[in-house]
Amino acid sequence: MRDWYLLYCKRSEQERAVINLDRQGAECYYPQVVVEKIVRGKRCECFEPLFPSYVFVTFDSEQLSFTTVRSTRGVADFIRQGALPQIVSEELVYNLMLNEDNNSYEHMFESLPQQGDKLILEQGKFKGLDAIYQEADGEKRSFMLINLLGKQVKVSVENTDLIKNKD
């Protein structure tokens, strides 16, 4: 039986891990979303991992050992429950695949504020500060302008730390 597992990869090495695991006979999956970014001064649409640094993997443990998978270039380790790698629901992985095929992740980014929206940060190290939304930022997902010591400073903030519209 082939169970699905979740791997934590070294920063920005998901593709390397997937290529090397594929060569060894493992099936890998990491969902990606299309994100608008400014690259070299031009706006473009780029693919980014939905879960940065994480890859779902399934393999036959009789043909490929856990140690071999963990030692693959780009892989840091399995996500574990105690000493054993955590098994991920097959249904979860296939639902992620289905949503990616149907572009169902787009709704996740529709709820982001628009540039210039005034907000109050609800969590994190900047909790309670007034902020002005600037733009989406790959991994962190949002750049905000906050007032620190009477000066506006641009910081990157997790979307979970946002959003309480300031009236």
pLDDT for res 140? 42
Q: Write out the two tokens for 2.
A: 């082939």
Q: How confident is the model at residue 18 (pLDDT cuts 50, 70, 90)?
A: very high
Question: What mean pLDDT value characterizes the chain?
Answer: 78
Instruction: Kindly tell me if the per-residue pLDDT of 73 is higher than 90.
Output: yes
- At 139 the pLDDT is 45
Neighbours of 1 (CB within 10 A): 6
Output the pTM of the full model: 0.62
71 alpha carbon, distance to own chain's centre: 22
The domain 4-108 having CATH identifier 1.10.1050.10: the answer here is no
pLDDT of residue 33: 81
CA distances from 101 to 11, 33, 124 (A): 25, 10, 33
At the topology level of CATH, where does 113-165 sit?
SH3 type barrels. (2.30.30)
Q: Are 18 and 31 in contact, with CB atoms under 8 Å apart? A: no
Q: Taking 70 as the threshold, does the pLDDT of residue 154 lie above it?
A: no
More confident residue, 154 or 95: 95
**Rg of the chain on CA atoms, in Å:** 19
Give residue limits of the domains in the chain: 4-108, 113-165
What is the mean predicted confidence (pLDDT) over 40-56?
Answer: 86
The pLDDT tens digits for 56-71 are 999 998 899 999 999 9
Residues 30 and 32: their CA atoms lie apart, in Å, by 6
Residue 30 CA from chain centroid, whole number: 9
